[in-house]
């Protein structure tokens, strides 16, 4: 930014007058290349002192250069600014020029893969609102998927988990608490004998194990291993990842830096808030008997999306977007924040942070999601 005041030339000659109006904190709007340097040549000049400042009339208008009052020790001349005002039409003309230049040569959007087209259709056909939450289907690669028998593999893994449970009482307590929590929250349910006896080509038993976090001693996360294979087949090998519509992380971070105040938060247990349609749940069974290896294990069925399924990220994103679209007319700013300022399950915004973030939280609640862990960041300007 550059400034020019009347006092800058008053000490030289009290009657001296600038050939332009003073300006303060002006910012250059147009950069002219050296191939047009002749436009800056002086047609006539006006000097206010031997050292300056001086004014020159050019083909583009008057410019002032040289040291000003209070800046005599400046080792180099003060940069000059054009005094002419730019026509408001210049920006439009330049924009039109580039649009014409690029006509017909813009890169065409990449064609969607056949798997993505099929997955998108499944999402659109199966995603429905059930109560206060949404329900969708697994993204099967084909309609005639036949899964191999996986009960024995799941049983052997259960025995391994039980051996670890016997050695670590704290681990056993936390593991049992998580599974009971799944049942209480409706994420999973225990099947009756008649339900287990019902056959099908898409029955799959998930392996499960606990993963600890060194930053959170004593706390574990229950993970379902959809990549475990029977022969050459795993559950994930039968599922498509689905279309990927995430915003680039860099764009979220750049936007988050635009304002003085930033707000970020997370969607709590995002996958677990989306129901899987009943006909697909048979592919999400698992075994558990709470450490009692003297009896046959109970069979449980997971009713929601699982962390580890190939299609979960895409399906959860689709549900989140579908829920927000219902509020496009009434809350366009909040919907834009959901669509453009979310990265996976994290939300980051800045402008009008409190008002927009509150409405975003309410819209998520309409779809069964809980926006939690709000954090504000105030940046020094």
What does residue 276 show for φ and ψ, rounded to 5 degrees?
Answer: -100, 135
Q: What is the CATH number of the domain that holds 291?
A: 3.10.10.10
Q: Are residues 286 and 343 in the same domain?
A: yes
Q: What is the pLDDT of residue 244?
A: 78
Cis status of the peptide bond prior to 53, with omega within 30 of 0: yes
Q: What is the pLDDT of residue 280?
A: 95
Per-residue confidence in pLDDT tens, the chain, 381 aa: 777 777 766 655 666 666 667 778 887 777 677 778 788 888 888 877 666 678 888 888 888 777 765 544 444 444 444 444 444 555 666 666 555 555 455 555 555 567 889 999 999 999 999 988 899 999 999 998 999 999 999 999 999 999 988 888 888 999 999 999 999 999 999 999 999 988 788 999 999 988 877 777 778 888 899 989 998 899 999 999 988 776 677 777 777 677 666 677 777 778 888 999 999 999 999 999 988 888 999 999 999 999 888 999 899 888 888 888 888 888 777 777 777 776 654 555 554 555 566 777 777 777 777 766 555 555 544
Give SS3 for 22.
coil
Q: Are residues 151 and 41 in the same domain?
A: no
Instruction: Report if residue 292 sits inside a domain.
Output: yes
Q: Are residues 307 and 362 in the same domain?
A: yes
Q: What is the pLDDT of residue 274?
A: 92
Q: Are residues 145 and 69 in the same domain?
A: no
Q: Are residues 241 and 301 in the same domain?
A: yes
Instruction: Report if residue 267 sits inside a domain.
Output: yes
- Contact (CB, 8 A) for 305 and 319: no
Q: Are residues 238 and 285 in the same domain?
A: yes
Q: What is the pLDDT of residue 374?
A: 55
Q: Are residues 83 and 187 in the same domain?
A: no
Q: What is the pLDDT of residue 377?
A: 57
Give me the numbers of helices (H) and strands (E) for the chain, helices first please. 10, 19
Q: Are residues 29 and 138 in the same domain?
A: no
Instruction: Report if residue 216 sits inside a domain.
Output: yes
Q: How far is CA 263 from CA 74, 270, 373, in A?
A: 43, 19, 10
pLDDT in tens, 144-168: 899 999 999 999 999 999 998 888 8
Instruction: Report if residue 294 sits inside a domain.
Output: yes
d(CA 41, CA 9): 22
pTM above 0.85, yes or no: no
Instruction: Report if residue 118 sits inside a domain.
Output: no
Instruction: Report if residue 110 sits inside a domain.
Output: no
Instruction: Report if residue 364 sits inside a domain.
Output: yes
Q: How many structural domains comprise the chain?
A: 2
Q: Are residues 47 and 150 in the same domain?
A: no
Domain boundaries, position 151 = 126-378
Dihedral sign of CA atoms 33, 38, 44, 49 in order: positive
Q: Are residues 69 and 164 in the same domain?
A: no
Last residue of a domain, one of 86, 101, 116: 101
Last residue of a domain, one of 55, 84, 101: 101
Q: Are residues 130 and 261 in the same domain?
A: yes
Q: Are residues 365 and 299 in the same domain?
A: yes
């Amino acid at each position: 930014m550059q400034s020019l005041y009347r006092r800058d030339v008053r000490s030289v000659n009290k009657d001296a007058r600038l050939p332009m109006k003073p300006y303060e904190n002006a910012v250059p709007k147009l950069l002219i290349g050296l191939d047009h340097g002749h436009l800056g040549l002086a047609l006539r000049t006006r000097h206010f002192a031997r050292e300056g400042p001086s004014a020159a009339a050019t083909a583009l208008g008057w410019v002032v250069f040289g040291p000003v009052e209070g800046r005599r020790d400046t080792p180099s001349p003060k940069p000059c600014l054009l005094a002419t005002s730019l026509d408001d039409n210049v920006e439009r003309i330049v924009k039109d020029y580039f649009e014409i230049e690029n006509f017909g040569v813009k890169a065409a959007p990449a064609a969607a893969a056949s798997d993505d087209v099929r997955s998108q259709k499944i999402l659109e056909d199966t995603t429905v609102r059930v109560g206060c939450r949404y329900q969708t289907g697994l993204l099967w690669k084909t309609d005639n998927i036949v899964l191999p028998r996986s009960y024995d593999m799941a049983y052997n893994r259960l025995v391994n988990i039980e051996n670890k449970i016997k050695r670590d009482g704290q681990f056993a307590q936390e593991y049992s608490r998580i599974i009971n929590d799944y049942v209480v929250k409706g994420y999973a349910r225990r099947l009756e004998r008649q339900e287990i006896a019902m056959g099908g080509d898409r029955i799959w038993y998930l392996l499960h194990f606990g993963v600890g976090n060194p930053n959170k001693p004593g706390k574990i996360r229950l993970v379902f291993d959809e990549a475990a294979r029977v022969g050459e087949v795993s559950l994930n090998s039968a599922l498509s990842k689905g279309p990927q519509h995430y915003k680039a992380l860099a764009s979220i971070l750049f936007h988050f830096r635009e304002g003085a105040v930033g707000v970020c938060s997370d969607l709590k247990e995002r996958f677990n808030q989306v129901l899987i349609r009943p006909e697909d749940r048979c592919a999400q069974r698992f075994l558990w008997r709470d450490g009692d290896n003297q009896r046959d294990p109970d069979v449980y069925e997971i009713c929601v999306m699982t962390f580890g399924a190939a299609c979960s990220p895409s399906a959860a994103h689709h549900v989140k977007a579908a829920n927000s679209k219902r509020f496009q007319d009434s809350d366009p700013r909040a919907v834009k924040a959901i669509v453009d300022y979310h990265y996976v399950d994290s939300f980051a915004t800045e402008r009008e942070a409190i008002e927009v973030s509150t409405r975003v939280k309410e819209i998520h609640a309409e779809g069964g999601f809980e926006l939690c862990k709000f954090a504000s960041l105030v940046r020094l300007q």
